[in-house]
Structures are given as structure tokens and as C-alpha cells.
A and B are shown apart, each in its own frame.
Chain A
């Protein structure tokens, strides 16, 4: 459609769009479309899903008509992608267990490593500073209902768990 269309990238883009459309169409298959007078929960989503598939199809078709371009993707920065998405997943998984302070230390340290200019000393300093600042801001000033350190960090939590496992094994 415009000069911005490049073959491999738009081929992939069109296919992704079609897949998303098909995914919505399939998972919304059971929703009642109703009638055009009294539209059910499935009416509008179905129209949109079909529209999505059509749009994806057009993008794909236009991409196929273009001569082959190269290197449209560039390299995927796997390290950055993994570290940054991993860091936010880690935050979600361990927040309640570790508490805000320790989690932020880990998250900032991990995500800082995604930069090619990262150095251990700077990252450590940054994570300690940020963890302290955020803990103060969010827990002290804004009163977020979060523990500074979580139950996983207290000795009692683990000794109880160990005791429970031990008794389970011996029984």
C-alpha cells in the first residue's frame, strides 16, 4: 500500500494478524450472535474477527506482490527481551513472597543487565537506591498494602515448611 511495505516483515505481519483474527473467531465461536435486532454477545466480536482476518489477508497479499526485500527484521535482541520480560514476570511471581524491597533489588538488577552499557557496580548501586526509594515512596508515603520483606525471608516460614514436609515424609 505504501512504500513502507517490505516483503518478509509484512508477510509475517499479515499472517500474525490473520492468526489473531482466527483465534478470536474460534474462541468466540460459542458466543451467541443473536439477531441484528437484539445483538447477542457474539455479534460484534464475530464481525471484528472476520474483519481482522480480511485485513491480515490483504496485508499478506500486498506483501506477496512486492519484490523480495532483505534484512527487514534486524536482529532480535533476545537478551534484552528475555531479561526485561523475565524481570516483570519475576516481580509478579515473587512479590507476595519476598516483599517489595528484595523483589525490586532483583528486578532492577536483572533489567539493568539488558543494556550493553551495564556495569556491575553501577547496576548494584542503582538497584539498592531504587529499591530504597520505591519502598519509601510506595510503602511509607503512599501506603501501598505491601510488606517491605515477605514471608519467604523469615526463618519461621521455612522451618515450618520443613517441619511440615518432614512430618509428611515420616508419617
Chain B
């Protein structure tokens, strides 16, 4: 008996559960009947006997629910959407303002989604990208090389238990000459298994591939990237088999990589790929064997995990390899430990990956706040509209519409609005990202920066999902309110609309939330602006004003050391003769750029402490006039001179910090130091400066004379009293008279170089983005506040009319309105201050020289926001007093 009872209740429970698939109204109207019918059919099938009959019945029921329920939902959706669109067409002003509000908020979100997607999620365009990991050397300092030498890479490849394969690539800049026209391009030197490991084939011709019996490929062959093939050669297939000149050396184009392959550089786009065996063509001056030299760490390494192998397993296995290397090669490998992370975590480099992830998460969080404000704003607009539709709602309720049905209708309306808003926002987001990409790409001509911030289907789907979510959230507010309101009261409210305490409270809360959130955004923006301010105020240790820079790479023409030095010398003399030029000097890498050198340095004699490790110092290679040109103060000893040439003993100048580290309170002049195995005599000491980024702790630095290093490329710093833009053409002319074949690039002011380099660019970008979000936030919040005050003033028009008829003056009314709305602003600002303090905590690691609780920012932002709130209230208040009191009264 009890068994039968259980069976029945199981059946009933299942039937009830299935019925839940139907829309609320359908269930309310027919649920009981449907249940009875199903039960009756079930009884009959049981009576007919046989599990077969029962099974068939259940299949039938299931099929029935699966086909009928969605059809019912769809029918309601269609009906509601049509109704919503009709209703929105009737109120075009409301619809337009709602759509614009949404588009504003959602374009920010779409843009941030695109960035976050590019930085953290978008997989490489290779076969099974989730198997790809990054292998790099874990390093203490940002200036140490995280890359891997060729021999080390081969040792890691041998870990076949965890790795299917590992390949390396190394970026180079080269001049590509074909048919007399030269291009400066970005080229990836790749190990011969690079394409096979990634699973990339050729669109035409072939890719670089391993060959049996050869340890590495050193043929001078070139594979073009598909995009470069298209833009430079118009997709001409006849390029395959032709010879082009790279840095003056002939290379044969053997193929074009497949169209879908976008390369493995996150921020750069390689134009072509050459075998790593041709290394020396691109690195004039290197005399060792790059395939044996374990100190030559040049490869970014990507590996493919074997199926089913985890990162941790790979790490464990490769740690053993690294430990073996450390034991066998203590001089170069004693501190080596490996960092193994998914490829997506190593963008743009393994070291910067975590920072970039944190920064983009912070920005995405701020964009989410903008979206929240947008949602609150939409909710507020919808409530205001619902209030005027009170009678419509009451009528429909009285005619038998269930409240659930009306809630559904409201949510459909707001979702329809947000989907339209989203559709408007996505093109804006795409456009903004294209601008941002151009902004980043324009930062430097030296490296073809080309981040892919494209809005792909993932971003599109996420943005649309967010739109629907925002619509549901915003639509629930007025729906909730309808649920609470009294039908009879609404019917009585003769055309005036409904004002319930609940609706008023909800709207006030939403306004407070908006004010609080926009304060938070403004504080974040303010902190980053202050951060940028502080960064600009940092003493760089040189005077960047009035300096012009121009760069050239004579090594790309195949010049040897002597020819390069002659070139540098002649160009400098020509430029020094330009009217208005005071002084000029070469420097290998201008300070605080994207590229720079560093060296591990030790004093001679080396400290006896066995635990002592040589620190990393910034290394600059400069001409004799550099310190005078950059106005770097010489503290002791002498600057470089003509006698510091390749023929004489190598010398160096150190900064005060390095001198203090090695020889506290003694003069270092005349002493020796070892920098990357070179023994250098110290001839002078200069003041400290900033070398890699403005936030760095005081860093040791050494300078070496240009004539003793003869770098393959360098920039000339020119100090002039003339306007920099006027000098540019003269500088170009000077270069071309010396050697028209050497391309000159990146002619820019030193201040521009700093703005676009590692000095200020991150701060500028952060300040720009957060201020933009702050601006959007405050715009939305003031629209929200304005809307609410205007609505309340409208509600109280009769009261104001009476009061003015009784002798009140405009000022009284305005004061009254401001007093009312001022309370929201005050509460919003108070809540916002608390919220900001919490959010600022999260930003701590991204700020420079500014406390997350910087009182100046908090006070200024609060005052500013108060002013904006008052303004948003004064306008509708004034309008109320401008009404003719008698007319208002007559309307009663």
C-alpha cells in the first residue's frame, strides 16, 4: 500500500515538475486540468498494464512539454515585445533618453570587455590553443631576461613525458627591401618546429619546418605573415620563390602562413618569420654560437602539453630539468627557476602578465560600476514612466491580468530597451577600441605595436548578455513596485499618476546609489590623474624639455663597427651645425623607453661574502656630449672624451647610487667594476636619475662610451632653442646627406617619447580611462537626479502654485526643492566616500606617489559632485517657479 502511494506521489511530483516549464499564466489557468488529464492517462496506461505502455506515455508527455512549453513562452514574448515596442513608440522622448543612457554605459562595458578579452582570454589562433603554455625564467628584477637560450630550450623539449613539443621565437626589427622599396618590419626568428608545434600550415608555398639530420635550419628563407602579404604584396602568389633583401642579405620567400594565424606576439604583429639559424643576420656584433651559448637568452618559449597533463605536472617535471641545469652550469644557471603558466597568463610578457591582468581587472571593475549606474538610471526612468502609467496598470489588473503577467511585461519592455541600447553601444565600442588601438599603435614607430582589441563574437555575446541582464535588473524595480501598489488606489488616482511611498523610496535609493557609484568612479579617476601628476613631477635626473630625438639603425645596412661609428660621427657633426642647435649626442636607448639595457655589475675586488650576488644596474651607451646635452650633472671625475675609443682601455661612468652601493663614502674614480664580464675603469660619477620607469626605486646605473660599444642602432638627442617641429626637417636632411640608405625613424620630442614610453604611458592610459568612466558616471548620475527632481517638482506643481499665490517668492520654492534633493546628494556622497575607500584599496598597487586615501582627491571630488547635483536640481526647480501659479491652480 505504502509502495503504491509512493509510486503515485512520485508520478505526481514528476508531472508537477514538468508543468513548471509552462508560463506562469498557462499554469494558473490550466495547470490543474493538465495535471488531472496526465494523471488520468497515467492511470489508464497502468490499467492497460505493461511497462511498455507506461514508457510510451512518459515519452509522449516529455515530448509534449518540450514542444508546447517553449511555444507558449514564445507566444507571450512576441505579444509582449510587440506591446513594448508600441508603448515605446508612443513615448519617443522617453525611449530615446533610455536608449542613449544605455548606449553610453554599455559602450564603456563593451570596450572594456574587448580589452579584457584581448589581454586575458582570447586564445591564440593555433590548433588546440588551450594546450599551449609559456615557459620562462623566473626573475627577481624586471630588467633581468626571462627568456630562454636555445640549448636550454632543447633540454626542456626533452621532457616528453609532459610536453608534446616546445618551440621558441625571438623578435627582431629588420629592413626588408624588394623592388627598390625598403620597409622596416617586425620579424620573428623561430625555431624550426615553431609552425608544426602550433599546428599552422601555409596559405601558399610552405612554412619553416624541421629537416631530418639537421640540428637547426639556417637557410635564408622567409615566411610572410598573411596580413603583411596582403597589405604589402596585394596577396600576389608570385612572391613565393622571389628573393628579397633583409638588412641587405638575400632571403628567399618560401611561403605565406595561413590566414587565420595572427602570430604569437600579444602586442606586436610580426610581418614575417625567418629560421632562428639566420640569427647573425639580425644581430651584428654577436660573435658566439647562438646554438651553444647558454647565456644568450633570446627565445620566448611556448610549449604544447601532452593531452591530460596539468600545468603543475609540467612544472614539477621541468623543475627537475632546471635543477640539473643549475648544477651543471653554475656560472650562468645557478639562480634559474622556471615560470610555467598558460599562454594567456603570459601576455604581453611572462613578467608583465600578472600586472596587466590586475590592471585590466581593475578597469573592468570600474566599467562594471558605470554599467550599474546605467542600470539604476534606466530603473529610475522606468519607474517614473510606470508612475504615469498607473491607471493603465490598474485597468489591466482590474480586467483580470495577473500581476505576474504584468511583471513579465515590464521586464520584457526594459529588456527590449537594453537590447536596442546594446545594439547602439556595440558600434560605439568597436569605434572606441579602434581609436585606442591606433593610439597604442602610434605610441612608437620603433616597434609595430598592434594589439588586437577587436570586438569578436565572444565580446559581442557577452555584451548582449550584459544588456539583457541589465534590462532584467532595471525592469524588476518598477515591476516590484507594481506588485506593492494598490489597484483600487491607482484607479482612483484620477490621471495624476501614482505616488506610493514605496515607489518614492525606491527612486530615492536609486539616486543615492547613482551618486555614490559615480563618486567612486570619480575618486578612482582622480587618484589616477594625481598619480600621473606625481609621475610627471618626479625628478628624472635630466632635463627633457627642448630635446628632440631621432633614431637610425645603420647595422640594418650591414655596416660594421667602424662604419657605424663613422656614420654616427658624421650625422652628429651635421646636426650640430644646424642653426639653433646648441648641442647633440647619441644614446643607444633614450631613457624610459620601451627598450633599454641592463647589466649585472660587481665591484673589483668582488665582496668576499659567498652569499653576495651582483645587482642589476641600468646600462646606457652614450656619446661624449650626452651628459651636457641631457643636462645631467657630473658629480665627480670627467665625462667621456675622444680618447675613450675602441683602441683604448674600456671605461665607464656610474651614477651616485651605484657608487654609494659599492664604495660608500669613497671616490670610485680610478676603481674597476665588472659589467657582464667586461672590466671597466670608472672615470666619473653623475647624478641619479630614472631609467626604466618613473616609479622605480633609485637604481644603480652605468654608462659606457659609444665608441667602445658601437651599437647597431641609436638615437640622437638634440638640444635646441628653436621650436622642435621646425628643426625636424633639418635633422632629416642632415641624415640623408650623410647616407640616404639609412632610414631615419621616430623623430619626436623627448617629452613625446616620455609620454608614449614606459615613463608616462601607463599612467596616461589609466588616467584617461578612469576619468572617462568617471565622466560617464557623473553624466548618468546627474541625468538621474535631474529626472527625479523634475518629476517631484511636477508632482508638487499645484502645491507650489498655491504657495506662490499666497505670497511665497521663487527663492523659497527653489530653496525647498534644493533642500529636498540635497539630502540625496549628501547621503550619496557619504555612502560613496566609504565605497571609494574600499575600491581605492584595490587600486593601491597601481597608484604611484599617491595614497589611496589622498584627502585632496576625496575633498575635490566631493565638492565637484555636490556642485553638479545642485545644478541638476536647480534647473527643474527654476522651471517650477516660472510657471504661472493661477494656470497651475486652474488645472486642478
State yes or no: do A and B come from one complex. no
A residues sitting closer than 8 Å to B (CB atoms) are none
